[in-house]
Amino acid sequence: MNSKDSSPTLLEALSSDFLACKICLEQLHTPKTLPCLHTYCQDCLAQLDIGGQVRCPECREIVPVPAEGVAAFKTNFFVNGLLDLVKARAPGDVHSGKPTCALCPLVGGKSSGGPATARCLDCADDLCQACADGHRCSRQTHKHRVVDLVGYRAGWYDEEARERQASQCPQHPGEALCFLCQPCSQLLCKDCRLGPHIDHPCLPLAEAVRSRKPGLEELLAGVDSNLVELEATRVAEKEALALLREQAASVGTQVEEAAERILKSLLAQKQEVLGQLRALVEAAEEATRERLTKIERQEQVAKAAAAFARRVLSLGLEAEILSLEGAITQRLRQLQDAPWTSGPTRCVLPQLELHPGLEDKNCHLLRLIFEEPKQSPKDSGKGGAGTQGGDEAQGQGDDRTKIGKQGGAQPLTPKEGKDQNPQEDDGVFIERGNRPNKKKKCKGRGKSVSREPSPILRPNLEGSGLLPRPVFSWSFPTRMPGDKRSPRITGLCPYGPQEILVADEQNRVLKRFSLNGDYKGTVQVPEGCSPCSVAALQNAVAFSANAKLYLVSPDGEIQWRRSLSLTQSSHAVAAMPCGDRVAVSVAGHVEVYKKDGSLATRFIPGGKASRGQRALVFLTTSPQGNFVGSDWQQNSVVFCDGLGQVIWEYKGPGLHGCQPGSVSVDKKGYIFLTLREVNKVVILDPKGSLLGDFLTAYHGLEKPRVTTMVDGKYLVVSLSNGTIHVFRVRFPDS
């Protein structure tokens, strides 16, 4: 980098904010420079002095204040010189606003000078035309540079004025600094030179600059070299992050495709096994029917012969019995000696045999394997502590890290890489290095290498709580004996300890269930109301129905109701964490009501600029009092504070092109979003980043409708058929 090419011009320094204090934002006054080379007003630094220390507002470096106070910091004469140029451009006379001559009051006895038309760059004085002419003719000042005042104020002579400018001694006003005391490193004027520094070796300023400037330029060149490296490092960091994002998106696609293939294969095997079961049962039924027909026929013949013989013996006369004895005896012996069945046929009973790996609860069909980036050829010559050349490093294999079942990043050992049965799991890993776009699927795990690379940031997703797992707890139907129709669950909310309240719009009832499915009764609703969304407050229940918001007591007594907009078919209701307020989405905005029915606040997510651009079909609140809603108009998930300020909004590909559905928030602030069209519940972290799928069809999801979070750790999911599944949200650290 050429320092001269990047050096700022004098005009840039005068016209930029270089001369403004970053604390008071005004022009610098008595500029003092800190050791970090940041300059501020002396009075502003005094306000930052806390306990004998000052923290630089720009670089946050802590600087000790000298015992004499902030005035002992070095005065920035460079800034002072630039300020003198700026001040010289200002009008000279405060009352008239026009520049006046600085010499007329001295030579003519006048109270004020005449209008100035010129300026002496050496004396730094404004002059009238007469004084300017005399200034050029004087023996002492005939070599001074006198220029046109208009051109000077226009900046035409800034460079020349800067060259002729002299720094003034703070101890002796009017005296220019012209010496440097070498032992004290202090600038001196002539009077200072004859004072305490008379015995010190001093140099004229020009000579001192010539001797010291090369050292400063050398240091500056070193810093410029560091800046080049920092720029390259910054670009490399951004490229690495872009590469990671690109590769993560690619691997995410692979994961989706692999999961789809596994699911399709599993469903195909399911249909095959079920088909085998049906064929087995049908064949057994056919054989059994044939045997039963034969048995029934034999049974009828035997019963008829036995009945005839019994009647003859009980009702016949002696002669009749004796006459039929031979025929009866022959028939009975024939039947007795007939080949009767030897007992029921033993059917072959089917048993289900699972693959050994699937029976393990910690079985991972998919896992990520992290590989350190390979050293590129252009970096191989740099070497460095703990690194090896590119060819040598590549010859030693891959160094990968897996996310294991214990959570956290774990390096793979050579034994794991060699002895792992390739049929036991399919790993999807990220390969980074010379071929970043190459996608691989490998069987088994990677191999470890013996080199010591520079530190690589490996994600610890599970250990940091980023990947919660669902643990199935209970499943139960919500249809009760008194229901006239199949349930249509449109609202869920926690209701007391380990209990939920279910809004069944089809049967016009609010049902109470425990988490394990025990029916607890109902909360009465007004006649003709079809509850849509529901939320539980302290000793009260709020629900929306027929474009109205109701608040009822646990026994069904109406406490108040409010009319809502008719332009919206349904209104989402959510209880605030405090338990004494309820929020409802109304025609693109949110209204918050107190428990007494008064309106507490009303806001549009994103402000008035978003008016008419929001449609929050589902709404919930976080433990911190923020709002999370599914916006069907923007097709996004919006997260805003209690004043409606949007903190973040998610519109990413994780929605799979679906309209966002029901939302729930756990105690840690993680957001669970329902995607009904693809039978999924995905999870977002508190900052709005998609973490992945939490529930899928693999967990029994079939057209999920609404969800709620109970006790901050139980996710309750209702399906379109009225069934409710309960999953515990388990974090690896819980």
Rounded to an integer, the average pLDDT of 727-732 is 87
| CA atoms within 13 Å, Cβ hemisphere of 523 | 28
In a domain, 160, yes or no: no
Cα of 117 vs its chain's centroid, Å = 64
Supply the pLDDT for residue 240.
Answer: 86
Domain stops at, among 38, 64, 90: 90
Of 309, 336, 363, the one marking the end of a domain is 336
**Residue 430 confidence (pLDDT):** 36
Please report which confidence band the pLDDT of residue 450 belongs to, taking 50, 70 and 90 as the band edges. Answer: very low
Higher pLDDT, 17 or 235: 235
Helix-helix angle 205-315:318-336, to 10 degrees: 150
Indicate the SS3 state at residue 531: coil
Read off the CATH number of the domain in which 56 is found: 3.30.40.10
Query: Which band of pLDDT confidence, cut at 50, 70 and 90, is reported for residue 478?
Result: very high
Interval 320-341 mean pLDDT: 83
Mean pLDDT over residues 590-618, rounded? 85
Mean pLDDT taken over the chain: 79
- In the predicted structure, residue 700 carries a pLDDT above the cut 60: yes
Please give the pLDDT value at position 222.
86
Of the given ranges (141-150, 267-276, 324-333, 343-352), which has the lowest mean pLDDT?
Answer: 343-352
Instruction: Kindly state whether residues 473 and 326 are assigned to the same domain.
Output: no
Contacts of range 54-58, beta carbons closer than 8 Å, 24 or more positions apart: 57/22, 57/23, 58/22
> Which of 254-258, 305-309, 458-462, 596-600 comes out lowest in average pLDDT?
458-462
Over residues 367-392, the mean pLDDT reads 52
Q: What is the pLDDT of residue 446?
A: 37
- Lowest model confidence (mean pLDDT) among 209-213, 421-425, 534-538: 421-425
331 and 476 together in one domain:
no
For the full predicted model, state whether its pTM sits above 0.85.
no
Q: Is 226 domain-assigned?
A: no
With 0-12 CB in 10 A as exposed, 13-18 as middle and 19+ as buried, what is 638?
buried
CATH code, 552: 2.120.10.30
Residues 640-678: pLDDT tens digits?
A: 988 888 999 998 888 888 899 999 999 989 999 999 999
Burial degree of 703 (CB within 10 A; 0-12, 13-18, 19+): exposed
Neighbours of 218 (CB within 10 A): 9
**Which among 391, 410, 504, 483 is positioned nearest to 448, based on CA atoms?**
410
Burial of 450 (0-12, 13-18, 19+ CB in 10 A): exposed
In a domain, 433, yes or no: no
In the chain, the percentage of residues whose pLDDT exceeds 90 is 23
58 vs 582, higher pLDDT: 582
Among the ranges given (183-197, 203-217, 439-453, 622-636), the one the predictor scored with the smallest mean pLDDT: 439-453
The pLDDT value recorded for residue 710 is 94
How far does Cα 168 stand from its chain's mean position? 56
pLDDT of residue 519: 92
Express as a percent the part of the chain with pLDDT over 70. 78
What is the model's pLDDT at position 97?
A: 57
Q: Residue 115 falls within a domain, yes or no? A: no
Radius of gyration of the CA atoms of the chain, in A: 45
Domain assignment of residue 689, given as a range: 469-730
**Does some domain include residue 157?**
no
User: Residue 159 and residue 182: Cα distance in Å, rounded?
Assistant: 29
Does some domain include residue 135?
A: no
Confidence band, pLDDT 50/70/90 cuts, at residue 409: very low
Read off φ and ψ for residue 731, nearest 5 degrees: -95, 150
Given a cut of 90, whether residue 704 has pLDDT beyond it is yes
CA 568 to chain centre: 31
Return contacts of 436-439, CB within 8 angstroms, 24+ apart: 436/243, 436/246, 436/247, 437/246, 437/250, 439/250, 439/251, 439/254
**Is the residue at 217 inside a domain?**
no
Decide which of 60, 90, 120 is a domain's last residue: 90
Q: How sure is the predictor about 512, in pLDDT bands with cuts at 50, 70 and 90?
A: very high
In a domain, 719, yes or no: yes
* Number of compact structural domains in the chain: 3
Number of helices and strands in the chain (H, E):
12, 40
More confident residue, 219 or 637: 637
Q: Which of 254-258, 337-341, 491-495, 724-728 has the lowest mean pLDDT?
A: 337-341
Half-sphere exposure of 691 (CA within 13 A, CB side): 23
Most confident of the following: 3-12, 189-198, 503-512: 503-512
